[in-house]
Structures are given as structure tokens and as C-alpha cells.
Chain A
């Protein structure tokens, strides 16, 4: 096997082991949080809401909640792991090795995607306790989860590359990611919003990801699935090449 491939697998293995080693921090919290969402929004409030876009409210929010946990966790995984490596300086283990920047990015990316998939599985199992999860397009669901986890893993990597202190890795999830996720149609269809806010919502990339997931599971969506997939793939490619470029330049990791 090619040396770059071996080194990339070594990094993926290291990142995966990390996720599993600290499972109490990586897999249990999203399970608890999403259980609370299902209980509060689904069971308690959802009963009063009734149907949304022709589906029982619990069933309607399930794909969005899975996607929300995938986004948060894949982002958190890479931003935490890479920034920690920077602060403890063991990122130098990778930088002094013959690994190319692309291999390093793909290694961290894979770690984030794997955590996203684990979390998606955990949340899906929890969802089954509250609603039926009849996935309409299983392959598309898998692709959407993997690609969205990839996009947010790369976004987390960019955050970690620029971060200089712990505050810097908390700002984006709190002030950017959380609002965009909540306004991204996890709990409602944007068709309920006034026209102006519907237009504004269409500038939120998370809307496309949540709705792509909803389409793949339920077959209903606020956006065209092709637009959703183009948005996801476009962001993935943009963030992938930006990350590789920044690492090549040594921004945030050298000097």
C-alpha cells in the first residue's frame, strides 16, 4: 500500500479511536440532548401542533434532529481534536512527517464523518422510540449524512486552523452554527414564514442540508433536492480545497 495511504489510515484510526475512547463525551451527550428534544418538542408540544407539511410533527422533526446532531458533532469533533493538537503541540507529529496536507485534511475529515455517522445512528435509534422512521431513499440519506458531516468537519477544521485560544472555538458554534441550525427548518417548514423571511431563509445553507435529509427520509422538502445536493457538494469542495491551501501555507500552524 502507498505510504500516503498508510499514513492517512493511521490518522483516521487515531481519530476514530479518540471518538470511541471518549464515548461518554462524544456519543452519550447527543443521545441525551436529542431524547429531550423528542420528549419536549415531539411528545409534549408536538401533540398540540398536530401535523406539519402533512406528517405527524414528531415524524416531521426527526430527520432535522438527526441532521442537527450530525452538524454539531462533526463540527465539534474536528474543531476540538485539531485545536487540542495545536495547543498541546502534538500537531507537530503530523507536520514533521512526510504526510501531505491533503492527507492530513482527509484524515481529520474522516474522523469527523465517522463521529457524524455514529451520532446519526445513536439519534436514529432514539427516534425509533418516539416515531416510525421509514426511510424513503436510504442511499440518499446516507450520502446526505456523510456529505453534511464532511462539510461541517471541514468547517470545524477551518475554525481550528484560525483559532488561537479556546474562546475562538466556542464563538462559531454558539453565535453562528446554533442560530443557523435553529433557523434552518429543523422544527418547521419555511412555507409557514412570511415571504420576506422565506427569502432570507434561502440564504441559510443549513436549510438545504436539513431539507435534503427530510426529503431523503420522508420525501418532502422546502427546497428542490437538486439545489440541496448542489449546495452540499459545493460547500464540501470549497471547504476541502480551502483547508488544504491553508495548511500548505502554514496559516495558523507554523510560525
Chain B
């Protein structure tokens, strides 16, 4: 059974913007699925349609085999959603936000209170249970939204940039929590601008651009399509000019850092051999950006060129 099937999904807004153009993708039960794309690519529209916050123009969506056109309430009972924008009732207490949300999902009040307590504790917000949402920091509001999305124990959790604007500590905490949740069986769809986040967490990825899916595969396969990676080598001592390494593109990032472009067919061993010959000792090496980020830029740039061409 698929957790989500999206078929020929199109959306044209009243102002004429075609946000989605016959989009197709599937998410398997248990997947940690990344839906990536530049700003305005159609990610939020897709999530909006899946959660029934946006009306579709055409196409069909099934959540655990329940069609949203015919079994909307059942389909929605499987979902939990953390939207991109803060959409809390700022004058409600944190505990009430969760208890009410559970109530809207048909969970009896006594069970709702218990769940609210559990999720507030898991999100380190229990001390703030009687605070109004408006008194929380940005990171706390995000965590409260995650807790709210979980209160109905969704089988499919949709996270639209859940870590936008939160500090590193909170982001790491949320990563660990989401990983655990996924391991326990919850299917997760994540959109994020932090591609490192998607690379760390997700096992499948779809890239959407200008309303069309341009890549949809496992994370391993997608990363395997990366034609070129840029590494940063930290060296012992300093140099003024980038060393010349046959068949590799090099540049100097700083007197102690060399950038080397490595294509898919090249290994990295030759780099070290050549640098050794030049008496340059490498202390450490890292990717300049996340691999997914490089691929993302490569794919979206290629597409921009195609569309302009």
C-alpha cells in the first residue's frame, strides 16, 4: 500500500499562475521522503492540496488508498501537517492548542489531554504548557506546531520547512526526533531549504521545479547522478597560488584551503598523490556544500538553461 499517490496533479491559481503541471509521484509506506525545489517551485501548493487547504485544478490524490475527492475525512484522519508559516492561535495556551487539535480529530478529551502532555514533553515544551503561543520563541512555536501535528498520531506526516529559522540545537533535536518517528513507522514527507537536512534524513527524494517533477528516486541514486563534487582541502602551512593538479580544476579559497572539483569518473587518490609531490600536506577534507545541494543547483540550473534556450 502506498502512503501517498499523486496523479496528474495540476493547479492554476486565479491570477493565472500555473503552480503545478501534471505532477506525479508516490510515497511508500515508511518512507522519509524529501520534496525539494526552489522558491515558488510548487512544493507548498502540493502540500496544500494534499491537506485540502488548497483546491486542485485537476488530478487525483490518494492517502493510504483513500481518495481525497471521495473519502476526504478518512484521508485527513491519516495526516498530520506542519505548515511553513506559523499558524497557531497566538492567544491560546500551548496545552489547549494540542487538546483542541486532538478534539478536532475526534479524540476524546481525557485521551487528548494525555497525548498533549506526552508530545509537549517530547518537544521540551511541558514547562510552557500554560503559556500563550504568542509568548514562545520562534523555535518553540515550531516545536509546538510539530507537537500539534502529531497529536492525532498521523500515519503520514507532512513537514513544510519545519526547521526554518530555528537554531542549530533545536534543528538537531528535531532531526533526531523525526528519525525516531520514522523508524517507528510514520511515513514522513519533508520540504526544506536546508538540503543537508534532506540528505541526512531522507531515503527518497523528488525535486520539483516550475511545477514539474524533474527528479524522483532514492537518495542514493539521485546523489549518484551528481556529475561533479567540489572538495575543500585544509593544508598544513600556507600557499599563495593554487597548485596545478593534472585533470583537476583547482582554486585557492584561502592560503590554507584549496578547492578541487572532482567529476564522477575521477577518484580522489590522485589529488593526494599530486599534492604530496608538491610537498603539500593535507590535514582534512570536506565537501564544499552538501552533495544534494550541488546536484540541486546542477539540475535546476540545467533546467533554467533548457527553458531559456
Contact = CB atoms under 8 A, between A and B. Distances in A.
Interface of A: 1-4, 6-7, 9-11, 13-14, 17, 85, 88-90, 92-100, 250, 254-255
B130 interface: no
A97 to B, nearest CB: 4
B103 A7 contact: yes
Contacts of B102: 10
B272 interface: no
Which 10 pairs between the two chains have the least Cβ-Cβ distance?
A10-B103, A3-B106, A89-B87, A97-B104, A98-B73, A90-B89, A98-B77, A98-B76, A6-B106, A96-B51
Q: Is the interface of A mostly helix, strand, loop or mixed?
A: helix
A110 B53 CA distance: 24
Interface of B: 13-14, 51-55, 72-74, 76-77, 79, 81, 83, 85-90, 92, 96, 100-109, 112, 148, 152
Given A96-B51, A97-B76, A89 B85 contact: yes
Given A10-B100, A88-B87, A89-B85, A96 B107 contact: no
Contacts of B13: 255
A93 B104 contact: yes
Contact of B148 (A4, A6, A89, A93): A93
A88 B106 contact: no
Contact of B73 (A93, A100, A255): A100
A34 B263 CA distance: 81
Nearest to B81: A96
Contact of B101 (A88, A93, A255): A93
Contacts of B92: 90
Contacts of B87: 88-90, 92-93
A98 B54 contact: no
Q: Which of B14, B85, B100, B104 has the most CB of A within 10 A?
A: B104
Given A4-B106, A7-B105, A14 B100 contact: yes
Nearest to A249: B55
B276 to A, nearest CB: 59
Nearest to A251: B55
Contacts of A9: 103
Given A88-B90, A254-B54, A255-B13, A10 B104 contact: yes
21 contacts: A3-B106, A6-B106, A10-B100, A10-B103, A10-B104, A10-B109, A88-B89, A89-B85, A93-B87, A93-B100, A96-B52, A96-B76, A97-B152, A98-B72, A98-B73, A98-B105, A98-B106, A100-B73, A254-B52, A254-B54, A255-B55
